[in-house]
Amino acid sequence: MIGLISATAAGAAARDRLAAAWPDRTRVYEGPVGDAVRTAFAQCEQLVCFLATGAVVRLVAPLLSGKTEDPGVVCVDEGGRFAVSLLGGHAGGANELAREVGDLLGAEPVVTTATDAVDLAGLDTLGLPVEGDVAGVSRALLDGEAVALRADVAWPLPPLPVTDEGAYTIRLTDRLVEAAEREAVLRPPTLVVGVGASRGAPVEEVLGLVGVALREAGLSVASVAELATVDAKAEEAGIVEAARRLGVPLVTYSAEELAGVDVPNPSDAPLAAVGTPSVAEAAALVGGGELLVPKRKSAASPAMATCAVVRRPGRGRLAVVGLGPGARDLLTPRAKAELRRASVLVGLDQYVDQIRDLLRPGTRILESGLGAEEERARTAVEEARKGQAVALIGSGDAGVYAMASPALAEASDDIDVVGVPGVTAALAAGAILGAPLGHDHVSISLSDLHTPWEVIERRVRAAAEADIVVTFYNPRSRGRDWQLPKALGILAEHRTPRTPVGVVRNASRPDESSRLTTLGSLDPATVDMMTVVTVGNTATRDIAGRMVTPRGYRWQAAQEGAE
């Protein structure tokens, strides 16, 4: 929860804007400012104070406990010009909160954390437990000193300026090791603990067994990703509470799924009880991996719990990112976050140029020219299979005539794939034209490089007969100048020459242009590959120079009656 505190009318107005925008995330604290800050500090994970930074410093100073316990605090000035990350920039999430508040209120985020100031990924922002000399290693990275990366397990990390040898070390491990001098230890979530339990097994017995099994195997509890068990034990109190105390999800599988997993230590007891010869080992091994701790029982008599531990290999990560139509303010915050997370970027050279300034220093860029879509998709998947964090970029939405389709055709289930949606050219053009997509609509590419014209023509004809608004992508190029006239002719068989047609070139870019014409008046020679053409249906109208397709046909009947 985010506590909101203000002292003046202007501060209250800005406060109320945040509260209205984030009703489920925020709580307004009224009353004397000092009391409000103290109460919110104790109750909330984060605070936004519409107060002077000096006042907030004096109020929170007596309340501070420690870097990992204190909430993140953001201050917004009286004029709403700045959102200052004051306390808990990383651990408390104040840096990101300042950016969010800035986006919402039109304020400039002020972040002074050293790693953020030089665009370096902070070790405590990677989403992994970290311990050891975090400050010393971070300072060495900032000062350009040699910092070695020692990875006992593979994990997709953002770009870090590391070397093979150095006086400082970042160790990536799930082993139970003490951080050495000048070393920071990152704990990736590589371990899956399979658990089985008799009815009524105490949580202390389950937790005690898991703790002993990990400790004796030399494994860190901080690297446990999940507890896994059979569906029949999904509500077993001891298992559910154990997962809660460990802070990991409880994942369950059907007895049929577990029975199909080959395990070294099957048993008749679980087969009779829940329908599978193995619970602990099978549940841990469902997703594959290396069995580090075979099934073992708790020390209680009689033993009421079993567990097994598996290390799943670190998986590479492929984010397929839509960049939108070109304008920076139409690039989504999620897309920006994925670009900054990637250690490898793959994309068309002109798209890379659009976002090069958003990449972290050290990001490896693999760019190529037009016509190499399949090659880029293969490259991105290959890099992800090496354990890298990869971003594959495309214009608009990456899933619409872009890179998601060829990439997912290459990818298998050995990497994690994340889709990041973007604003499509059709949507950007539609917003410029008015509301042409207010009812059913379809997008059709007129490029026959990958699709036979016979298929394209059949789709255009179907859209024409169904009276659907059509947006044409790739409408015309120097080598393809007859497809657009042919498509328009097919639509003209079912729509009048007065049907509105919107033509938008370079939507959202500095040289954007648009015009509203009609099906009978459009000159295809004025259209090129940077243009999208939207043809209305029989209900679409030109209203005050805007292209509007009503949501229902009652509106159309009323308009026709008025005419």
195: which 2 tokens? 């658990």
Residue 405 one-letter amino acid: S
What whole-number distance in Å separates Cα of residue 238 and Cα of residue 240? 6
- Is pLDDT at 561 greater than 70 in this prediction? no
Q: What angle do CA 515, 518, 521 make, to 5 degrees?
A: 95
pLDDT value at residue 394: 92
In the predicted model, what is the mean pLDDT of residues 167-189?
A: 93
What whole-number distance in Å separates Cα of residue 249 and Cα of residue 189? 12
In the predicted model, what is the mean pLDDT of residues 117-135?
A: 82
What whole-number distance in Å separates Cα of residue 92 and Cα of residue 81? 22
pLDDT value at residue 222: 95
pLDDT value at residue 556: 56
Q: How many CB atoms lie within 10 A of CB 34?
A: 12
pLDDT value at residue 117: 64
The β-bridge relationship of strands 147-151 and 168-172 is parallel
pLDDT value at residue 559: 54
What whole-number distance in Å separates Cα of residue 315 and Cα of residue 317? 6
276: which 2 tokens? 């599978």
- Is pLDDT at 431 greater than 80 in this prediction? yes
506: left (phi over 0), alpha (psi -120 to 50) or beta: left
- Is pLDDT at 538 greater than 60 in this prediction? yes
Phi, psi (degrees; rounded to nearest 5) at 31: 90, -175
For every residue of 329-393, DSSP letters joined together read GGS-HHHHHHHHH-SEEEEEHHHHHHHGGGSPTT-EEEEE-TT-HHHHHHHHHHHHHTT-EEEEE
Give the model confidence (pLDDT) of 274-316 as tens digits. Answer: 888 999 999 999 988 999 999 999 988 899 999 999 999 888 9
Q: Please give the residue that has the higher pLDDT: either 121 or 190.
A: 190
What whole-number distance in Å separates Cα of residue 342 and Cα of residue 332? 16
Give the model confidence (pLDDT) of 221-273 as tens digits. Answer: 999 999 999 999 999 999 999 999 999 999 999 999 999 999 998 888 877 77
- Is pLDDT at 424 greater than 70 in this prediction? yes
What whole-number distance in Å separates Cα of residue 319 and Cα of residue 341? 9
What lies within 8 Å, CB to CB, of 407 at 6+ separation is 318, 320, 377, 380, 381, 392, 417
What whole-number distance in Å separates Cα of residue 99 and Cα of residue 108? 8
Residue 156 vs residues 55, 318, 343: alpha-carbon distances, Å: 42, 10, 8
Q: Residue 184: beta bridge partners?
A: 132, 170
Query: How many helices and strands in the chain, by DSSP H and E?
Result: 19, 28
Give the model confidence (pLDDT) of 204-215 as tens digits. Answer: 999 999 999 999
Give just the sign of the alpha carbon dihedral 335, 338, 342, 346.
negative
Give the model confidence (pLDDT) of 349-394 as tens digits. Answer: 999 999 999 998 889 999 988 778 889 999 999 999 988 999 999 9
Give just the sign of the alpha carbon dihedral 43, 49, 53, 58.
negative
pLDDT value at residue 143: 85
SS3 190: coil
What whole-number distance in Å separates Cα of residue 446 and Cα of residue 463? 14
pLDDT value at residue 560: 54
In the predicted model, what is the mean pLDDT of residues 195-220?
A: 95
Give the model confidence (pLDDT) of 456-505 as tens digits. Answer: 999 999 999 999 999 999 999 888 889 999 999 999 999 999 999 999 99
What whole-number distance in Å separates Cα of residue 147 and Cα of residue 163? 6
The β-bridge relationship of strands 250-253 and 224-230 is parallel
Longest dimension (CA), the chain: 89
pLDDT value at residue 10: 86
